[in-house]
Amino acid sequence: MRTVLVRKIANTRLAEDDDLLELAVVRTEDEVVIGDVLLVLRSVEHQTVEVGYIFSPAYGRQGYATEAVRALLEVAFFELGARRVVARVDARNTASRALLERLGMRQEANLIENEWIKGELTSEVDCAVLAREWLKAHG
């Protein structure tokens, strides 16, 4: 666990393919860690960034994940100059899929039985939004 934490703390820039930045999400009123978000530079050449997130179920349906992922998209498009942002979610996670849709991401692929999660073969959904689409909606 300590090795993983040291590695995560050391990742502070996105410059090369597969560089990642992982951040804790802390609720300001009580300084409780409620989730974890990340940006991964998937391709410098194609200007593609991936967003990821996980939140404690105790803090679900309160807008925290939406706020955090929106901030990641802002960073990706305005700070990093991404052309495209992608996200991959468990197909069964309807709340996460709805979150991405609310933020303007569209489903682009349905990957059938492609991932083992907790010992179960599952399907995943790929979603994406382009910079021009984000800027038109949030410019």
pLDDT in tens, 8-55: 545 567 889 999 999 999 999 999 999 999 999 999 999 999 999 999
pLDDT band with cut points at 50, 70 and 90 for residue 5: very low
98: phi then psi, degrees, rounded to nearest 5: -65, -40
pLDDT beyond 90 at 139: no
For residues 35 and 81, give the distance between their C-alpha atoms in angstroms, rounded to a whole number. 25
Query: How confident is the model at residue 11, as a pLDDT?
Result: 55
Q: Which residues, in sequence order, are bridge partners of residue 36?
A: 24, 54
What DSSP letter does each residue of 63-104 carry, written as one string?
SHHHHHHHHHHHIIIIIS--SEEEEEEETT-HHHHHHHHHTT
pLDDT in tens, 51-98: 999 999 999 899 999 999 999 999 999 999 999 999 999 999 999 999
Report the candidate in 85, 55, 81, 50 with the shortest Cα–Cα distance to residue 68: 55
Mode of pairing for the β-strands spanning 48-55 and 84-90: parallel
**71 burial level (CB within 10 Å; 0-12, 13-18, 19+):** middle
Q: Are 85 and 70 in contact (CB under 8 A)?
A: no
Instruction: Tell me if the pTM is above 0.85.
Output: yes
